[in-house]
């Protein structure tokens, strides 16, 4: 996926979750980011192993 698509996704996440409720958004965005990290790490380990 092109980099600009990821930029649009991040901006949408900020507009949908962070702006309306900043306190709850911290946890939601953090969990989503952790999930992405775990997903890409599992892809990397599957490709290597």
pLDDT string in tens for the chain (49-residue length): 788 898 888 888 777 766 666 666 667 677 878 888 888 888 777 766 5
State residue 4's pLDDT score: 87
pTM for the model: 0.41
- How many Cα atoms are found within 13 Å in the side-chain-facing hemisphere of 15? 6
Q: Which two tokens stand for residue 27?
A: 């946890």
Number of domains into which the chain is organized: 1
SS (H, E, C) the chain: CCHHHHHHHHHHHHHHHHCCCHHHHHHHHHHHHHHHHHHHHHHHHHHHC
């Amino acid at each position: 996926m092109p980099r600009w698509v990821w930029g649009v996704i991040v901006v949408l996440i900020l507009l949908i979750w962070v702006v309306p409720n900043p306190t709850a958004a911290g946890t939601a965005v953090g969990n989503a980011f952790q999930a992405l990290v775990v997903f890409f790490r599992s892809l990397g380990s599957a490709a290597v192993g």
